[in-house]
A and B are shown apart, each in its own frame.
Chain A
Amino acid sequence: MSERRYVFSWDLLGNLDEGRPNLGKKLRLEVYRLMQYTFRDVLEQDLGTEKADEIFYRAGMIAGTEFYRHVIGDGLEFNDFVKKLQVSLREMDIGVLRVEKTDIENGSFIFTVSEDVDCSGMPVLNYSVCTYDEGFIAGVMEAYTGKKFVVKEVDCWCTGDRTCRFTIDIMRIL
């Protein structure tokens, strides 16, 4: 690949106070989804469903890692880390994070996200759509623990469930 143009940097989020003195930081959710699902459409057309999902997962991981670095921060005990993650996701209108299980010893967790920015309110499609969220959670967990995780959405609004449920397990190398 020639010299890269789009390497992500937190700076790319820009100075919103300066750039949007009147409109501010808020954006209607439909616009976010409009962008996400049109991206998906094109990616699927060009690369296939599986590759499109993989790209979203990887993008989510970058987002989760950067979110951890710039919003959560290092040095928190696990409960404080979860607390800060919950508060941050809620304050930034991303979703209502709740914890169902934490098994730190075995690196196994179950989180749920209600009112998820990616899917809540969408029609029932019979497949889960929160691939970006899976990557996001994996990125946050990896940044916090220094270990790789596999995140899988087992319940999603789009499969008829009313809250998205994610299993989070440490990646075991066979």
Chain B
Amino acid sequence: MSEMGQGRRLTTAGTDETVHAVLVSISEVMTQGSPVSPVPELDPGDKEVFRQIIADLTALQQFSRTLASGSISGDLKVKGFMAGYVKAIQANLLHLTWQAKMISEGDLSQRVDFMGDFSDSFNSMVENLQTARVETAARERDLSEANEHLSSEVQERERAERALSQVNRKLNLLASITRHDILNQLTVLLGYLDLIRDELQDPHLRSFLEHAEVAATSIQHQIEFTKEYQSLGVESPTWQLLGPIIGELRAQFNLGAVSIGEQLGYLELFADPLLEKVFYNLVDNALRYGETLTKIEFSAKPVPGGLILSCEDDGTGVPEKDKERIFQRGVGKHTGLGLFLVREILSITGMTISETGVDGQGARFEIFIPEGGFRQKAGQAITPVY
């Protein structure tokens, strides 16, 4: 306990110099942190009081400095009003620290009382937090409900997809069996028509027979087309390297003097597994109708938003009026199904095709592949694509 607190007084009558020295020492502690001047000469009782004053002031100063630095859990042993007010500040800081900890642990019932404007600000902040928490909880409930709803919808859709898949399998099976039976019967029909032709001499009747053969052959092509079309979209799209697909084409056709060139490097397309049919049909088309055809070239060039892959030949080209019609089902000189199938296969992964050649100078089919639908094969050097 401080001697000052016990109400003791300096008893030394002392000289003016002594009193001055005491005051200077106290002033030095107050302004500089510690006494600098020599300790004044005092009698033993006064000296003890003086020492206690200096010790209390120094302790108070050190405690205040510690408090100011943010370390608020210190212990000030000094008693009395001066120390009491500093300790009251410390008590408030400790309480606020405890409250902040409680708030951080989720207790938003904390409020500060009797601390003036700070109370208003603090309490307003906590109330806002409470409001935000309530709103967040409401949003979480909404999200949770929406999530449950979505989950339920997904499950429903999955059930529907499973049912649809089952129906699709049954339909495919039925179509496959029916196609097989029709083709068998068509083979029989065409065989008999062939036998009849050998026996039929009347040109008028032979003309009827030829019409019948054309119709039967057309039915055969259409039935065969259903086999390809049935496969469309059944399997998931995959990345497919174009080089081998085009290389394979050279072996599939009797090209004669026609050359097939490609400058596609290691280009891969994300497409339906029937992609090879696209290139097959484009080459088949060129060979069938090119007439003056000597070469077919595949190339690619980047354009805004994607890539254009071209199949260009030097045949007779496509008349202006047919440029769009040729992609319609049933339009064409052969089955009328090839380019229709091409467009359908490409559309599965967002690709489009159009004919942009010059009639009389050659056909040019341009396939637009959107961003994300093409890439250079992983691990391979990027070959210029143009």
The reply to whether A163 and B87 contact each other, CB–CB distance below 8 Å, is: yes
Interface string of A64-107 (1 = CB under 8 A from B): 00000000000000011001000000100000101111100000
Tell me the count of chain A residues lying within 8 A, CB to CB, of chain B. 24
Query: Which chain B residues lie closer than 8 Å to A162 at the CB level?
Result: 81, 84-85, 87-88
The reply to whether B114 and A163 contact each other, CB–CB distance below 8 Å, is: no
Name B79's contact: one of A98, A100, A102, A159 (CB within 8 Å).
A159
Name A101's contact: one of B80, B94, B107 (CB within 8 Å).
B94
Q: Nearest chain A CB to B294's CB is how many angstroms away?
A: 90
The reply to whether B5 and A98 contact each other, CB–CB distance below 8 Å, is: no
Taking A124-B5, A126-B1, A126-B79 as contacts, is the C-beta distance between A96 and B114 under 8 angstroms?
yes
The reply to whether A80 and B87 contact each other, CB–CB distance below 8 Å, is: no
Main secondary structure of the interface of B (DSSP, over half): helix
The reply to whether A98 and B88 contact each other, CB–CB distance below 8 Å, is: no
A99 to B371, CA, bound (A): 63
Which residues A119-135 have CB closer than 8 A to chain B? 124, 126
Interface string of A140-174 (1 = CB under 8 A from B): 00000000000000010101111101000000000
Interface string of B68-97 (1 = CB under 8 A from A): 000000000001110111011001101100
Query: Chain B: which residue is nearest A77 at the CB level?
Result: B107
The reply to whether B109 and A160 contact each other, CB–CB distance below 8 Å, is: no
Main secondary structure of the interface of A (DSSP, over half): mixed
- Residue A110 at the B interface, CB < 8 A? yes
Interface string of B1-37 (1 = CB under 8 A from A): 1000110000000000000000000000000000000
The reply to whether A110 and B79 contact each other, CB–CB distance below 8 Å, is: no
Q: Nearest chain B CB to A157's CB is how many angstroms away?
A: 8
Query: Which chain A residues lie closer than 8 Å to B114 at the CB level?
Result: 96, 114-115
The reply to whether B102 and A163 contact each other, CB–CB distance below 8 Å, is: no
Q: Nearest chain B CB to A120's CB is how many angstroms away?
A: 11
Query: Which chain A residues lie closer than 8 Å to B87 at the CB level?
Result: 155, 161-163, 165
Query: Chain B: which residue is nearest A82 at the CB level?
Result: B102
Query: Chain A: which residue is nearest B95 at the CB level?
Result: A98
The reply to whether A100 and B98 contact each other, CB–CB distance below 8 Å, is: yes
A116 to B83, CA, bound (A): 18
- Residue B202 at the A interface, CB < 8 A? no
The reply to whether A124 and B113 contact each other, CB–CB distance below 8 Å, is: no
Closest 5 pairs between A and B when the two form their complex, measured CB to CB: A160-B80, A98-B95, A162-B88, A100-B94, A161-B84
